[in-house]
Chain A
Amino acid sequence: MTVLAAATNLVDAGLLAQLLLGALAVVAAVVTRGRLRNLLAGALIVAAGIAAAVTGSAALLGEVGTGLQIPVAIPLAEPLDPLLLAPDQLGGLFMALAGVVVALAALFGIGYAHGPAASRTGWTAFAVFAVGMQLVPAAADAVTFLLAWELMAGGSTVLLLADHATREPVRRATVWYAVMTHLSFLLLLAGFGVLIAAAGGTSWATMTGASVAGPAATLAFVLLVAGFATKAGLVPVHVWLPRAHPEAPSHMSAAMSAAMVKMGIYGILLLTLRLLPGGPRWWSIVLVAIGAGSALYGILQASVQADLKKLLAYSTTENIGLITTAIGVGLLLRSSGQNAVADVALVAALLLAVSHAAFKSVLFLGAGSVLHATGERDLDLLGGLAARMPWTSVTFGIGALGAAALPVTSGFVAEWALLQSLIHVDARADRLLAIVIPITMGIVALTVGLGLLTFVKAYGIGFLARPRTPAAAEAHEAGPAMRAAMVLGAVLVVGLGLVPGPLSQALARAVSAGGVSTTGGAGLLLGAVDVVLNPIALTLLTLAILVPLVVVNAVLARRHPRRDVDLAWGCGGERTSPRMEYNATSYSEPLVRVFRSSLQATQLVDVVRHDAAPLLVEQMTFTQETGDVIEDRLYLPATRWAGRLGDLARTIQNGSIHRYVGFSFAALVLVLVLVAL
């Protein structure tokens, strides 16, 4: 703290440094070539990420700069206020989060980027995306915010297109992504427009004064939440996630999933805590409903995916859903006057966001390392990677522990805080709470349970057992830069889980929550609800039990060493072919049966009979496809209607030049009439 206070305006210097480093990265990407480009551009983006992490942390801890003003003058346009970059505490948190993820992803990219992703365009797009994303939470007015938002969207779209020349799914994914991300932008533009008109200024400071009652605030809330939800990947506007994440280069998927979708969460917090605080109760119910719905739907879809990156993408929808649920519960409790528990829920939301950023970076980078080593991301074709890729295997395992919310990872701390906030709600006098809270609790619990299954499957099928294909059998470990990024991420997952006290205290500042303190070194004490979590003590207790066990086991192992056999037991038969192993599809088969109606699974069994003896089966093929209900019921009809509308529009465009001249004339007359009025 004292160091921070000594350096005056660390925040301003940091903002400037990010812009400069970003610009240098673009220059490096353009002028260098080959491995040097990876190294230079990557290193500069890592530096920009670190600058953002430092700046953000300083802003979070209360360092206030004068703000970075960028004057803009557009010829022929109305004069604009200068763009203002001045992160507050909440913005600082999200800037730090984005910065750390960008640094990890770029570090991984140095070793990983190849082909089109390592091209001039690839690295330039990554630099633009990274700096844009880091500046979104720094913006202090709507215009700056939307500009940074578009840099982020544009950069990511270009990088997503990297492999378009060789792979057809990339093109389709990019179309979905571009449409959804611009839908988000338009909704935000409209929403901010409404707010600006109501408040009479573009800066957050002026907008804060807007009234939360009345149709303008409601309209702004609906538009902005829809826009932010689209970026965050909440149901039903999640459809771009499971397409874009798998097709993007893996370091980009990590940055998109761990950091970019969080900007949607930042937006929701900015809207509900700063711009329009104290909104009506139904706002929070809406947030809880879409959050809980996304959490359950996301994890259900994730649990049946066989494509590793698609699984991770759906799991992102789940996590974002949990974060939104926590925000909704916090706002709901604030509106019923239970401020102490509300603060716990809001801190839980931020803990969930931070822990998701940590473990999802590791998981996507690990998936990238697997893809790099085997060329496969289909779990049904992997297996046995733990023996050949120890670094990737251990770090991915730690990430999976975090995603499954097991102790002692950051994911566990976050879900613990969320559940604590739920069970400490006083719902006796309030019918609405008495209905909403138990249902939310049930959904969160089911989500946790299915999350466990999903990540046991992802890790167990992918890394344990025997390789299912030659590609998996010949996998090789990742290079040093990739390993370093994965290890750093894994250290974060465990480290943040071990010191929840100081972390939560810092996060509490961002949402000005009270009742959070550190106890017993680094443990978390939620004074408001009187509960304590001390992961270090829990770890020590576990070690006190585990170490004697390991010693006893070692002594026994010395007396009776393990015997190598060809076949462990195998029911007394021969060692069967790896094709007999359970794979990802069969692993989730019971679940598909249980949730058949919501997963819309179609199973096809194709039997080829023997020519001579029709009772004998020569070959059997089994295919299973799970559909996305929301896509089938919502998006397909919507695109069909849009197509029909297009067909209708074609009838007035028959190619006759006379008709078009007539249209122009009519338009001119209309404009003149409007001007005259």
Chain B
Amino acid sequence: MTIASVLVVVIQLVFAVAVTPVLIGVMRTTRARLEGRVGGGIGQPWRDLRKLLSKEPTRAPGSTLVLTLAPILLVASSLLLCALIPLASTLALASVPGDLFVVVSVLLVGTVALALLGLESGSAFGGMGSSRHMVIAALVEPTVLLSIYALSVPAGTSALAAIVQARRADPASLLNPVSLLAIFALVVVVIAETGRLPVDNPSTHLELTMIHEAMILESGGRDLGWLELGSWLRLTALLGLVANLALPWGIGQDAAPLTLLMGIGAITVKVLVLGAVLAAAEVFIAKLRLFRVPELLAGSFVLAFLSVSASYLVF
């Protein structure tokens, strides 16, 4: 059991690192094709990453250890997410179960590392990005907790693996209002946390609109490589979570090699399809004005709240 769950963790980590550049490649290519461009190809993010990691970073006078540590912490936090979230299998480590609150706080460690890096640069852009990023993170927090809370009521536990398992055992619960409302709220959360449209535009460098890019503006070379990898991994982990909550089929439930293989195949397909759908949807959406974003988040909070209330009536 223990060895099997350690194996699952290792497999999920390898999966995440291997699939993430492909996922980003697929998303960028989808978007490029729909916009009538050729795009860099599916392998381009991987080549970018290799190039960035082997380039020297720069250091301005007066900068501290945060400059080096924050990018690595972001990657570590995202990898830890991939280890804790049930991606390929619902086998969880006995001493560190993928507890909802632990997962959220690990996510927040990455958020904070990024925000501190933005301030560390000492430029106006970094601070601006950091400030906006933290406001969005703060406003998203209630939705995250309430939506997963709603999903945890039927399962009677806050461990994500157990929730996924319970949903798989009872497919009828996937289509009830509690589940639909909560999943919809969760999608908004994922979009906000990973900085996708309409909350943030990942490919913009326009001063007034950028959030994520503003924080990493002063980073270059190896630092930038880690930062890109960290944010991409975060997207993989969260998309994987939503995919497994919405469509829990195919995920492995024991340590048999065949089910594990099937679990890996299922999550790869799910994440890539979901990514392509997200990218396709982004083509048709414009970025929201920054001060309209709280309205979007308040809306998703209301959905999550309704979902919790409904869960008391349904179950």
The winner among B105, B108, B291 for most chain A CB atoms within 10 A is B105
Interface residues of B (CB under 8 A from A): 9, 13, 53-64, 66, 68, 72-73, 75-76, 79-80, 83, 93, 95-97, 99, 101-102, 105-106, 108-109, 111-112, 115-116, 118-128, 130-132, 134-135, 137-142, 144-146, 149, 152-153, 157-159, 217-222, 226, 290-291, 294, 301, 305, 308-309, 312, 315
A464 at the binding interface (Cβ < 8 Å): yes
In the complex, the answer to whether A534 meets B58 with C-beta atoms within 8 Å is no
In the complex, the answer to whether B135 meets A464 with C-beta atoms within 8 Å is no
* Chain A positions 209-263 with a Cβ under 8 Å from a chain B Cβ: none
What is the CA–CA distance of A593 and B131 in the complex, to the nearest angstrom?
13
| Contacts known (A438-B309, A546-B72, A588-B131); A407 close to B115, Cβ less than 8 A | no
In the complex, the answer to whether B57 meets A562 with C-beta atoms within 8 Å is yes
In the complex, the answer to whether A406 meets B64 with C-beta atoms within 8 Å is no
**Inter-chain contacts of A570 with B (CB < 8 A):** 123, 218
**Inter-chain contacts of B219 with A (CB < 8 A):** 568
* Shortest distance between the CB of A454 and any CB in chain B (Å): 9
In the complex, the answer to whether B54 meets A465 with C-beta atoms within 8 Å is no
* In the A-B complex, the 10 residue pairs with the closest CB atoms: A582-B127, A449-B141, A449-B138, A460-B119, A537-B95, A445-B142, A560-B56, A465-B122, A568-B218, A453-B134
Interface residues of A (CB under 8 A from B): 383-384, 386-387, 404-407, 412, 415-416, 419-420, 423, 427-428, 434, 438, 441-443, 445-446, 448-450, 452-453, 456-457, 459-461, 464-466, 519-520, 523, 530-534, 537-538, 541-542, 545-546, 549-550, 553, 556-557, 559-571, 575-576, 578, 580-583, 586-591, 593-594
In the complex, the answer to whether A568 meets B60 with C-beta atoms within 8 Å is yes
What is the CA–CA distance of A590 and B301 in the complex, to the nearest angstrom?
19
A selection of 10 A-B contacts at a CB cut-off of 8 Å is A405-B105, A452-B111, A456-B119, A461-B119, A464-B120, A532-B97, A537-B96, A563-B59, A581-B124, A587-B131
Q: Count A-B contacts at CB 8 Å.
A: 238
In the complex, the answer to whether A465 meets B99 with C-beta atoms within 8 Å is no
Query: CB within 8 A of B119: which of A416, A532, A550, A582?
Result: A582
In the complex, the answer to whether A545 meets B80 with C-beta atoms within 8 Å is yes
**Inter-chain contacts of B123 with A (CB < 8 A):** 568, 570-571, 576, 580-581
* Shortest distance between the CB of A212 and any CB in chain B (Å): 29
Query: CB within 8 A of B96: which of A423, A459, A534?
Result: A534
In the complex, the answer to whether B54 meets A453 with C-beta atoms within 8 Å is no
* Shortest distance between the CB of A475 and any CB in chain B (Å): 13
In the complex, the answer to whether B142 meets A442 with C-beta atoms within 8 Å is yes
In the complex, the answer to whether B54 meets A582 with C-beta atoms within 8 Å is no
In the complex, the answer to whether A386 meets B221 with C-beta atoms within 8 Å is no
| Extra contacts besides A464-B119, A560-B55, A587-B127 (5): CB < 8 Å | A442-B145, A449-B140, A461-B119, A549-B72, A567-B60
**Inter-chain contacts of A546 with B (CB < 8 A):** 72-73, 76
**Inter-chain contacts of B101 with A (CB < 8 A):** 415-416, 419-420
In the complex, the answer to whether B145 meets A406 with C-beta atoms within 8 Å is no
| Contacts known (A438-B308, A452-B112, A453-B138); A464 close to B56, Cβ less than 8 A | no
In the complex, the answer to whether B149 meets A459 with C-beta atoms within 8 Å is no
What is the CA–CA distance of A441 and B142 in the complex, to the nearest angstrom?
8
What is the CA–CA distance of A582 and B130 in the complex, to the nearest angstrom?
9
In the complex, the answer to whether B59 meets A565 with C-beta atoms within 8 Å is yes
In the complex, the answer to whether B56 meets A590 with C-beta atoms within 8 Å is no
* Shortest distance between the CB of A360 and any CB in chain B (Å): 19
In the complex, the answer to whether A590 meets B290 with C-beta atoms within 8 Å is yes
* Shortest distance between the CB of B24 and any CB in chain A (Å): 20
In the complex, the answer to whether A460 meets B115 with C-beta atoms within 8 Å is yes
In the complex, the answer to whether A441 meets B95 with C-beta atoms within 8 Å is no
In the complex, the answer to whether A423 meets B152 with C-beta atoms within 8 Å is yes
In the complex, the answer to whether B62 meets A387 with C-beta atoms within 8 Å is yes
In the complex, the answer to whether A520 meets B141 with C-beta atoms within 8 Å is no
The winner among A416, A438, A559, A583 for most chain B CB atoms within 10 A is A438
In the complex, the answer to whether B119 meets A407 with C-beta atoms within 8 Å is no
In the complex, the answer to whether B127 meets A419 with C-beta atoms within 8 Å is no
Query: CB within 8 A of B72: which of A416, A423, A550?
Result: A550
* Shortest distance between the CB of B127 and any CB in chain A (Å): 2
* Shortest distance between the CB of B101 and any CB in chain A (Å): 5
Task: Tell me the nearest residue of chain B to A417, going by C-beta.
Answer: B101
| Contacts known (A545-B76, A563-B58); A446 close to B142, Cβ less than 8 A | yes
What is the CA–CA distance of A386 and B140 in the complex, to the nearest angstrom?
30
In the complex, the answer to whether A537 meets B105 with C-beta atoms within 8 Å is no
What is the CA–CA distance of A441 and B301 in the complex, to the nearest angstrom?
12
In the complex, the answer to whether B121 meets A465 with C-beta atoms within 8 Å is yes
**Inter-chain contacts of A445 with B (CB < 8 A):** 141-142, 144-146
* Shortest distance between the CB of B112 and any CB in chain A (Å): 6
Task: Tell me the nearest residue of chain B to A390, going by C-beta.
Answer: B64
| Contacts known (A416-B101, A466-B62); A580 close to B134, Cβ less than 8 A | no
